[in-house]
Amino acid sequence: MKKQKISLTFFLMGFIGYMVNVVFGIMLVSGEDKITEGLLYPRESETREVRSLDGVWSFAKSDTKQPSEGLREKWFLKDLADSTNVIHMPVPSSYNDIVEDAAVRDHVGTVWYERKFFVPKSWQTQRVWLRFGSVHYEAYVWINGNLVARHSIGHLPFETEITSHINYAKENRVTVLCDNVLLQTTIPQGKIVEQDSDNGRIPIQQYTFDFFNYAGIHRSVHLYTTPNTFIKEIILDTDVDSEGNGIVGFRIIANNNDTTNYAKVMIYDRERNIVDTQAVDGSLTGTATIRNVKKWWPYLMSSDPAYLYTIEVKLSTRAEENVDVYRMKFGVRTLKWTNTSFLINDKPIYFRGFGRHEDSDIRGKGLDFALLTKDFNLLRWIGANAYRTSHYPYSEESMQFADEHGIMIVDECPSVDTDNYSNELLLNHKFSLEQLIHRDRNHPSVVMWSIANEPRTQKTNADQYFAEVARYTKLLDPSRPITAAIAVHMNSDELAKYLDIISFNRYNAWYTNTGRLDMVTNNVVNEATGWHEKHNKPVLMSEYGADTVEGLHMLPAYVWSEEFQSQQFSKHFEAFDRLRSSGFFIGEFVWNFADFKTAQTYTRVGGNKKGVFTRNRQPKASAHLLRKRYFELASELDNYHTLPTNLYEYTSQNQKQLDRNEL
Ligand code: GCB
């Protein structure tokens, strides 16, 4: 089925009665048949060059009352500064917190970005590609005034070939229009309402999800080259045979689809030794074998976790040998699941993890390598082995970090609080999963797909809707289980039956029975047991927690204090240990790794404070408690006995004996 769609804001502006004179015409968006192509992560090789366009771009916010002005006046045809006032804007970054102006922070609708660049003459014989790691939510891209790309759904990459639009002899200009409007049919959903203000009637973006709707060019922008005939995709499927050899199925897709192509595939180990070489032709499909494979293990589940190999693909055509070369890292591990357990390399997984956000001060959701590195250091420090990409796909660079550090990922699509089910929503939801799986399918760290967070699965049509989302996800990737973080009561939920693993979010002693630390443990045990008894599937707790203001201490424990967060965690730990002994409970994820910004409401003091770390990544008291538990679990469950020497502070000579008794 083909569907027609115009840009969100333009649709919206029609909706609220603004005049729109110039749109790009009608953009075609197809439905189920929309399949992502290409998008290999930009990497240099002897046949490819990569250039970053990150840096300081020109930026202009549209006038909320004249959202289509820039299009009507064709700002993309000349320098942005010739049409409107521009300011400096870093890329990658959200634009919201860069300026001391609430109108930018709370802007609804379109903004413009622009920068100039040169390409070397040597690129004239190559294809040139422009790739965005993510623009939130909808993007239109012009090169030298020509519309070259359009993409919607934030948090996911897109690219386009710009070879024929490039000037090799002079400067080039890239212009981006970014639209942050969320509607009932976008993923995630939102709603625009018109309200009276002191400045007249204005559109307000409403949304139910609990994180700030940051917008802008959130991830890196790259130019890269490929030869004329090039490797478009590499799809891996790894396994381990009964003798412990790694089986690496690979499928290479070349852009020309020519059956006379052939390829040489080499597999290197971590020390750069060649461990297998395969020559394939025609279908470019084959299987490599790695003798005595070193499996990819999660952090603290092996003394040598996160072992990665490198696959090198050299594509040749009848006319030219080694026309394109691409290398990428991968891991070999198996996943299996039953109705009580989830196994990696035939060993049961017990998740010790977090729900997280891509969020920090100033840059919002902008990719930042210092932050990324710090976060992974903190994950290791605290002994976590997993996190969920709540509530949208995280950066490709973070997925590479997860592979390298052995952190298992529950990879979530951007559907949050899914409601008001419609066909258009379903198509977009499926497309978000298709783009996500296309992007992340080769990462060993990705062990599960999460198809939604807290969908309203008690509502009319939820059953039918999620039957289809689940079917489609499993069709795209049968090798990983699917889950969703459910908050609806198990008696009214219509989704869990379609999942392989049931995840539930619950805030005992916080949103229910606030402050009652004596009403946590049994409730958690009963709810998890209920889910298992109803559906006969493994269960994990995907969210629990309490808002906590760092430095607020109250004894006896009182909500918002550090004491309360620690004690509320501890009550959950008791529940988790009881559940572990009953055999179907496979993990615990604290909400949240760090404090994060939300929309303004009277329930949030400077944002959501359920972090174990502050927004600035400093530990609250609960972080030290959690660290003890996560390492103790590693020791108990995964035979990991090299505990950090500073896990316990010295208190007395008697302490060791007491600790041992407690363990
Ligand atoms: C939830 C949501 C998460 C919120 C959290 C909270 O259930 O999944 O996005 O931030 O609760 O703190 O309210």
Q: pLDDT by residue (tens digit) across 16-39? A: 333 222 233 223 333 445 789 999
Tell me, what DSSP letter sits at residue 63?
P
> How large is the average pLDDT for residues 2-6?
40
Active site residues: 454
> How large is the average pLDDT for residues 269-293?
97
pLDDT category of residue 657 using cuts at 50, 70 and 90: low
- The mean pLDDT value of the chain amounts to 94
d(CA 12, CA 415): 21
**How far is ligand 1, taken at its centre, from the CA of residue 207, in Å?**
13
Contact at 8 Å (CB) between 155 and 393? Answer: yes
User: Nearest-CA neighbor of 247 among 278, 287, 217?
Assistant: 287
d(CA 495, CA 421): 13
Q: What are phi and psi of 401, to 5 degrees?
A: -60, -45
Name which residue sits closest to atom 9 of ligand 1, judged by CA: 210
Name which residue sits closest to atom 4 of ligand 1, judged by CA: 210
Does residue 190 sit in helix, strand or coil?
A: coil
Radius of gyration of the chain (CA): 25
Evaluate the omega torsion of the peptide bond into residue 120 and state whether it is cis, within 30 degrees of 0.
no
Q: What are phi and psi of 254, to 5 degrees?
A: -100, 155
d(CA 231, CA 45): 12
578-622, pLDDT tens digit by residue?
A: 999 999 999 999 999 999 999 999 999 999 999 999 999 999 999
Please tell me the predicted confidence (pLDDT) of residue 67.
83
Residues with CB under 6 A from ligand 1: 210, 391, 453-454, 487, 505, 543, 591, 608, 610
**How far is ligand 1, taken at its centre, from the CA of residue 500, in Å?**
23
For the record, the structure tokens of 622 come out as: 């609960």
Please tell me the predicted confidence (pLDDT) of residue 18.
34
Please tell me the predicted confidence (pLDDT) of residue 17.
33
User: Nearest-CA neighbor of 165 among 157, 156, 173, 153?
Assistant: 173
Residues sharing a CB contact under 8 Å with residue 58, sequence separation 6 or more, in sequence order: 79, 80, 81, 86, 87, 88, 89, 113, 114, 115
Tell me, what DSSP letter sits at residue 287?
E
Name which residue sits closest to atom 2 of ligand 1, judged by CA: 210
d(CA 451, CA 502): 11
pLDDT category of residue 658 using cuts at 50, 70 and 90: low
Please tell me the predicted confidence (pLDDT) of residue 26.
28
Please tell me the predicted confidence (pLDDT) of residue 661.
54
d(CA 32, CA 52): 33
Please tell me the predicted confidence (pLDDT) of residue 116.
98
Please tell me the predicted confidence (pLDDT) of residue 34.
72
CA end-to-end span of the chain: 60
**How far is ligand 1, taken at its centre, from the CA of residue 210, in Å?**
6
Of ligand 1's listed atoms, the one at least distance from the Cα of 391 is 9
CATH class of the domain defined by 35-180+215-226:
mainly beta
β-strand 55-61 against 172-179: which pairing, if any? unpaired
Please tell me the predicted confidence (pLDDT) of residue 10.
55
At position 547, the amino acid (one-letter code) is D
**How far is ligand 1, taken at its centre, from the CA of residue 481, in Å?**
23
**How far is ligand 1, taken at its centre, from the CA of residue 271, in Å?**
43
Helical segments of 216-266, H only? none
pLDDT category of residue 12 using cuts at 50, 70 and 90: low
For the record, the structure tokens of 474 come out as: 């499993």
Is residue 522 predicted with pLDDT exceeding 70?
yes
Length of the chain: 663
Name which residue sits closest to atom 13 of ligand 1, judged by CA: 210
Please tell me the predicted confidence (pLDDT) of residue 64.
87
User: Nearest-CA neighbor of 288 among 341, 244, 231, 249?
Assistant: 249
d(CA 98, CA 239): 47
Please tell me the predicted confidence (pLDDT) of residue 29.
34
> How large is the average pLDDT for residues 331-352?
98
pTM, entire model = 0.95
Is residue 632 predicted with pLDDT exceeding 60?
yes
Of ligand 1's listed atoms, the one at least distance from the Cα of 505 is 7
Of ligand 1's listed atoms, the one at least distance from the Cα of 487 is 7
E strand intervals along 133-240: 135-136, 138-143, 146-152, 158-161, 172-179, 191-197, 200-206, 216-217, 221-226, 231-240
Contact at 8 Å (CB) between 448 and 437? Answer: no
Pocket test for ligand 1, best of 608, 609, 612 (most atoms within 8 A of CB): 608
pLDDT category of residue 660 using cuts at 50, 70 and 90: low
Please tell me the predicted confidence (pLDDT) of residue 654.
81
Of ligand 1's listed atoms, the one at least distance from the Cα of 610 is 12
3.40.50.720, 2.60.40.290, 3.40.50.150, 3.20.20.80: CATH of 335-659? 3.20.20.80
For the record, the structure tokens of 177 come out as: 């229009």
Pocket test for ligand 1, best of 488, 505, 542 (most atoms within 8 A of CB): 505
Tell me, what DSSP letter sits at residue 608?
B
Name which residue sits closest to atom 6 of ligand 1, judged by CA: 210
d(CA 3, CA 577): 51
Output the CATH code of domain 231-330: 2.60.40.10
Long-range CB contacts (within 8 A, 24+) of 365-371? 365/94, 365/136, 365/214, 365/218, 366/90, 366/92, 366/93, 366/94, 366/216, 366/218, 366/219, 367/92, 367/133, 367/218, 367/219, 367/220, 367/395, 367/397, 368/92, 369/397, 371/617
d(CA 124, CA 294): 43
d(CA 577, CA 588): 10
Delimit the domains of the chain by residue range. Answer: 35-180+215-226, 231-330, 335-659
Q: At what angle do helices 521-535 and 562-582 cross, to 10 degrees?
A: 40
pLDDT category of residue 656 using cuts at 50, 70 and 90: low
**How far is ligand 1, taken at its centre, from the CA of residue 453, in Å?**
9
Q: Is 366 exposed, middle or buried (0-12, 13-18, 19+ CB in 10 A)?
A: buried
Residues sharing a CB contact under 8 Å with residue 422, sequence separation 6 or more, in sequence order: 184, 185
Contact at 8 Å (CB) between 433 and 476? Answer: yes
Please tell me the predicted confidence (pLDDT) of residue 655.
73
The percent of residues in the chain predicted with pLDDT above 70, rounded, is 94
Of ligand 1's listed atoms, the one at least distance from the Cα of 596 is 10
Helical segments of 112-209, H only? none
> How large is the average pLDDT for residues 633-651?
93
d(CA 541, CA 573): 11
> How large is the average pLDDT for residues 469-485?
98
d(CA 441, CA 438): 6
Is residue 285 predicted with pLDDT exceeding 90?
yes
530-575, pLDDT tens digit by residue?
A: 999 999 999 999 999 999 999 999 999 999 999 999 999 999 999 9
Name which residue sits closest to atom 5 of ligand 1, judged by CA: 210
**How far is ligand 1, taken at its centre, from the CA of residue 521, in Å?**
20
Pocket test for ligand 1, best of 506, 543, 568, 610 (most atoms within 8 A of CB): 543
105-117, pLDDT tens digit by residue?
A: 999 999 999 999 9
**How far is ligand 1, taken at its centre, from the CA of residue 67, in Å?**
32
Give the position of tokens 């939801």: 429
425-459, pLDDT tens digit by residue?
A: 999 999 999 999 999 999 999 999 999 999 999 99
